[in-house]
Every structure is written in C-alpha cells, then in structure tokens.
A and B are shown apart, each in its own frame.
Chain A
Amino acid sequence: MLVLVIGDVHIPQRTHSMPAKFKKLLVPGKIQHILCTGNLCTKETFDYLKTLASDVHIVKGDFDDNLNYPEFKVVTVGQFRIGLCHGHQIVPWGDVEALAMVQRQLDVDIMISGHTHRFEAFEHEGRFYINPGSATGAYSPLSSADIHPSFLLMDIQAATVVTYVYQLIDDEVKVERIEYKKPVPAS
C-alpha cells in the first residue's frame, strides 16, 4: 500500500509551484493514501492533492487558511498506527523528546511531523519518526543550510514499511530507501 507523506508546500506565500519534476512523478491513481503535514496553504493545493488520491488526511499548519483542519490526527494503515501533526505546536521544534511525548500520547508506531522543512527519518525507542521536509523547498529560517524540495512515499506491507525519500538536489531527483519493521511486542 502506497502512502504519500508531504507538506510545507507554502504556495503561494513563499513560492509559486511544486517542482516540475515532482509533479511528473506524482501521478493520480498510484497512491492509496496521502498524509499531509500542513502549511499548504490554500485550497488550491488541497484540491491538487485530492486529484492524486481520494483519501487525504491533513493537519493544521501555522499558515494554513483553513482553520478547520485538526491539530493532530491518527490514521491506521495496515498494521501501523500513524500519528500526524504539523509540528509548530511541539516545543522545542524538532526536538526528539518532545516528539516522543506526542508519540506516546497518540500511541502510534510512526510519528510524522513537519515545520522544520528538513527531511528526517530515524528510529527512536523502537518507533519511527519521519519528516517529509518541504515539497517545494520553501524558505524557512529554521533550516539554515540549503533546503531541498522533498517528499516521502511509504510502501506498507504487513509489518514492514519501506520509505522512499525523494529529494530534488541540483535539479536531479535523488531517491533513498529506508526500512522500518514494527517491533514484535514482548510476550
């Protein structure tokens, strides 16, 4: 099952469009679910995501124009409980311990957050934490280094999720592969 993890698009406030090479890759009909970290910021981009897959989950970013998106969301895909949150509410921003608190609160296997515009994927205390970065590489003072446009595609099969990271570096799309297995509960 393919799940697209994407966010921090910031159209039109900080940039005018998604990178053309990404748009070519994101073809409707191939993806089953979309988990969006927020900060789209307008309905236009939301409608675009809806054309890629019918099941779109989104949480509120600090610049989204739709005030009715929830702050947190938990979605179950296959054997995984997945938590979704933009991340500006989790203080300090990008801090592992703070994220872990939310992960425990929501009781999820995979914790997705955004806001920093920096791609992350790591395991912590047996759980998987991912940040799809910014799909457009939009400007953020939180990442002082160069920000590359990025998004993630999770392929969920039984108790394993293979995460493909797509990054646009020097106008080339580079893909990395990361595997996470749900830990078997101690008997």
Chain B
Amino acid sequence: SEMNKLWVRMQHQGHSREREKREKERQELKILVGTNLVRLSQLDSINVNTFKKVVLPGILEQIVSCKDAIAQEYLMECIIQVFPDEFHLETLNGFLKACADVQQNVNIKNIIIGLIGRLAQFAERDPTGIPEDVQLFDVFSDKTAEIIQNRSEMPVHSIVALQVALVNLALRCYPTRSDFVDKVLETTADVFSGINLEPLEYNSETCKELLKLLKIPIDSYNNVCKILELPHFSALLDYCDLNSKKLISSYILQNALDNETLIDSEERVDSVLHLVSSLVMDDDSDSQGAKVTEDPEDFLEEQWLMARFIDLLKSEELDNQYIILNMAKKHFVKGGPRRIEFTLTPLVFAAYSLATRYAATRESDDKWDKKCQKIFQFCSQTIMILSKADLSELPLRLYLHGVLVASETKFDKAEGFAYDFISQAFTLYEEEISDSKAQLAAITLIMSTVERARCFGEENHETLRTQCAVASSKLLKKPDQSRAVALCSHLFWSSKPQDGGRRIERC
C-alpha cells in the first residue's frame, strides 16, 4: 500500500509537470520526484525480484508515457543513481528498452554511458557479482545497436561516444576477449559505411571521439602486436583524415618504443607497416593537400620516430632477421626520396650488424658465407637507391662502412664486395662531392678506411693507395693536399719506402 501511494503521487506529479511548466515549480517538483525515488529505493521490502517485476516497470511506464524529454532524462539518470548495481544487472533488458522508447531529443547517450561506466566499475571490483546469465557486453552491444537504429537523428559523434563506452567495458571487464574489442570497431565501421560517412575533418566532434576510440585499445594492451590482431582496426583508421591517421600511427609507434615491443615476424612487420602507412609513404588520396601545410620540423620528428621504430623490427633468429629486413625494405622504398635517407639507413646498419653476427656462427653454420654475400647484395642495392636519390655523403659513408664489415667478417668473396664498395665510394667522391671542405673530409674517410681494412690483397691495395695519393694531390688547397698526402703515407707502410716518397714529392 505504501508503494501504491507513491505510485499515485508520481502519477500526479507526472501530469502536473506538464500542466505547470513554470521553471521554479518544475525545479521543486523535480526534486520531489527524485526524493520519492530515493525513498522507494530505501524501502526494505524491495528486493531484486520486486524491483524487477513491479517497481521498475511501473516507473519506466510512467517515464515513457509522460513524453516529456527533460523529465525522462532526469528520471532515467535518477534510477541509475538511486538503485543498487545488483538491481540494474538484473533489469538491463527492460531498462535499455525504455531507453529506446524515450523521446528522440533525450540525451540517451549520456545515460547509457553513465550506466555502462557504473556497471564496468562494479564488475571490476567484484567480477563474481555478475549473475551467470547476464552477458554484460552482449546485452549492451545489442541494445545500443537497436537504440542507434531507432534514433535516426542521433549525431554520429554520439554513436562513436557510445562505442567508446562499450570498448572500455570490454577492456575492463573482459580483458581476454579481444574479439569484443574488434566487434566494437566493426560496429563503428559498419555505422560509418551505412551512412556513407563524409571524410572526417580533423578536430570535428566525431573525429575526436574516433581518435579516443582508437587510442583506448593501444593504451590498454601496451602491445602493438595485439592491435595487429584486431582486423577492423585498420578499416576504421581508413575513415580518418590524413592528420588523424598520422596521429594514431605515431601513437602506435611511440607505444611500441615505450614498451620495447619487438615486431619479430615477417607477417607482423608487413601488418604494422601497412597500418602506419600514412607515415611510411605519401597518401595519394589526400586531396586537401595536408602535405603542403606540413611543418618541416614535424616531418623530421616523424621520420626520426619511424627510424627508431625500425630498431624494433628484429628477431633473435638470424635467418628470420634477414627476412624481416627484406620485408621492411619493401615498404620503405615506397617512401620516396624525402624519407629514404631516414628509413633505409637503419636497415643497412641492421644488415651489417647481422653479417657480423653470422660471421660469429661460422663454426656451426656452413652456409654463413653465402648468407653474408646475400646481405652484402642487399646492402649494395639499398645504398644504390640512396645514391640515385641524389644523396652522396650518406651513401659514401655507408659504402665505406661496408668495407670495414667485409674486412672484419672475412667471408668468402668479401674482398670482391669490399673492392666494389670502395670503388663506388670513389665514384661518389669524384662525381658528387664538390665543396672543398667536404672533399677533404671524404678523402680522409676513404683513406682511413683503406688503412684499417685488412681484406685487400696486394694488387688491389696498390691500386687503391695509388688512387688515394692521386686524389690527395688533386685537392684544391695546398694545405689540404699536404694534410691528405701525409695521411696517405699511412697506406704505404707495406710498400717500399721509395714509392711513397715519390708520390709525396709529386705534390
């Protein structure tokens, strides 16, 4: 009977609200109704079952039938706040159905997000508190889908905000179910394709919500490889504008670096470089010309980030490492001349390092020579790409570095590769380097490399040291000439002193 009295009072209040419509009285009535609900919740006689069968349906009926948006919104929120979570868990279906039935202009998104948040917290604190038959995620996922379908005027960013709440629920309460996370991403992508979404503008509401949605799994897993396992992540990323894509890509790379996540298989390298392709190469679809407005400092930072990330593309297993480097190169050559000096360079160094490691296995691996040769082929091709892109100082140094590696590892046919590399270096020196300061630096490097290298037979060495001496004597400034020739003399230790002397005299 107590309850009945409350029903009646509520009913009257519901009606009088509509009739009154004066602000102050509305406020007072609002508080009164709220208080009634609180009293209702405090009644001892209400347990889960009575709530489920009697109380809630009654309240919900009142709410829906009064058709007043403000009242509906307030009352729905009241219900969530006032009654315990255990009750809500039992009555989700009914409650969410009512959400679907309220007026179109009620901000249902906030109500649902509020409810999801509460229940997620509850579930985290006490996972056993959720009844067996309540599949939290499924219920919310299905019901919100229904609600979204029913409300054709719901703005896109609200839909995405709901998805954000769902993905949080999935990650907090069901951390092992990555398929839940993917379902949310899939749903969002479907919504976008269903409404033929226009390209998103950076900084729009929808874009902000979408970025939030994409960042949550990255932060939650702290393992970029798990993101690669969500098939709909990249589909969703494709809906973003170029700036957003770059933002998320950088976010992913930074996350990998912060967590030292190694990308240790060919497939994963392929996946991740596809995912972050907005940083790997120019985006042909970019009609807005974001490239034109790109800040050069930002570009540098982007490429340095990418280059640092390349250090994570590695495997302990040497053969696997070689495959990974090849896959990475496939992607990075698409970057064009602006990027390759940043991206191909670490690949070359990684390859050199790999050769050294192979050399260390010479006792156990009889194919190590051939593997080193393949690596030097790889390096030769890669450095060639750099020199064709009008770079000269960098490829020269990379070639010289290769000579040292060949010298140290002493694999079969190393001398051939080393001689080829040093010839390439000489060519670059003669044809591309014209500044006199740069010339002195370059010839010094060439000579110091020849000095250090132990892989050249007498014939080759003779040719090289002659070339060095000639180059030294041709330097533009006399002081440079004498410096260079003095250095060159180091190369003549093994030969007869007269030869060296004659060369020096000729300068």
Footprint of B on A, CB under 8 Å? 11-17, 42-44, 62-63, 88-89, 91-93, 139, 141-142, 144
B452 surroundings in chain A (CB, below 8 A): 92-93, 142
Q: In the complex, are the beta carbons of A88 and B404 less than 8 A apart? A: no
Smallest Cβ distance from B477 to chain A, in angstroms?
15
Interface contact A139-B448, CB-CB below 8 Å: no
How would you classify the secondary structure of chain B's contact residues: helix, strand, loop or mixed?
helix
Give the number of A-B contacts (CB < 8 Å): 69
B353 contacts which of A62, A91, A93, A139 (Cβ < 8 Å)?
A: A139
Does B281 lie at the interface of the complex (its beta carbon under 8 Å from any beta carbon of A)? no
Q: A16-B257, A139-B349 are in contact. Are A11 and B487 (CB under 8 A)?
A: no
The reply to whether B307 and A13 form a contact with Cβ atoms under 8 Å apart is: yes
B447 touches A91 (CB 8 A): yes
Does B408 belong to the interface (CB within 8 Å)?
A: yes
The tally of residues in B whose CB lies under 8 Å from a CB in A reads: 33
Specify which chain A residues have a CB less than 8 angstroms from the CB of B487 in the assembled complex: 91
Cβ of B309 under 8 Å from chain A: yes
Once the chains bind, are B407 and A141 in contact (CB under 8 Å)? yes
| B384-408, CB < 8 A from A | 397, 401, 404-405, 407-408
Q: Are B349 and A13 in contact (CB under 8 A)?
A: yes
CB-based closest 3 A-B pairs: A12-B307, A16-B311, A16-B308
How long is the Cα–Cα vector from A134 to B239 in the complex, in angstroms?
Answer: 44
**Chain A nearest Cβ from B494, distance in angstroms:** 13
A104 to B304, CA, bound (A): 39
Would you mind naming 24 contact pairs between A and B with Cβ atoms under 8 Å apart?
Answer: A12-B304, A12-B310, A12-B346, A13-B307, A13-B346, A14-B349, A14-B353, A16-B309, A16-B310, A42-B304, A44-B301, A44-B304, A62-B445, A89-B441, A91-B447, A91-B451, A92-B490, A93-B451, A93-B452, A139-B352, A139-B353, A141-B401, A141-B404, A141-B407
Shortest Cβ distance from B400 into A: residue? A62
Residues in B neighbouring A42, C-beta threshold 8 A: 300, 304
Chain A residue nearest in CB terms to B408: A141
Given contacts A44-B304, A139-B353, A141-B407, contact A15 B311 (CB under 8 A): yes
Given A91-B444, A91-B487, A142 and B352 touching (CB < 8 A)?
Answer: no
CA A54 – CA B282 in complex, angstroms?
A: 38
A91 to B349, CA, bound (A): 23
Is residue B356 within 8 Å, beta carbon to beta carbon, of the partner chain?
yes
Residues of B contacting A15 with CB < 8 Å? Answer: 311
Distance of B450 from chain A, by nearest CB (Å): 10
Q: Name the residue in B304, B309, B408, B445 with the highest tally of chain A Cβ atoms < 10 Å from its Cβ.
A: B304
B312 within 8 A of A: yes
| Contact call A17/B257, Cβ cutoff below 8 A | yes
Q: How far is the CA of A92 from the CA of B404 in the complex (A)?
A: 14
Q: Is B345 an interface residue (CB 8 A)?
A: yes
Across the two chains, which residue of chain A brings its CB closest to B306? A12
Residues of A within 8 A of B401 (CB): 141
Supplied contacts A17-B257, A91-B487, 10 more A-B pairs, CB within 8 Å: A12-B310, A13-B345, A16-B308, A91-B451, A93-B448, A139-B349, A139-B352, A142-B404, A142-B452, A144-B356
Query: Chain B's nearest CB lies how many Å from the CB of A70?
Result: 12
Q: With a CB–CB cut-off of 8 A, which chain B residues contact A11? A: 308
Q: Give Cα A6 to B353, complex, Å.
A: 22
**A100 → chain B, closest Cβ, in Å?**
15
**Which of A16, A63, A92, A141 sits near B451, CB closer than 8 Å?**
A92
Contact residue among A14, A44, A88, A92 (Cβ-Cβ distance under 8 Å from B445): A88
Complex CA distance for A106 and B342, rounded to whole angstroms: 35
Scoring B residues 317 to 335 as 1 if CB is less than 8 Å from chain A, else 0, what string do you get? 0000000000000000000
* Cβ < 8 Å to A, chain B residues 171-206: none
> Is there an interface contact between B408 and A144, defined as CB atoms closer than 8 Å?
yes
Inter-chain contacts of B304 with A (CB < 8 A): 12, 42, 44
Q: Are A141 and B307 in contact (CB under 8 A)?
A: no
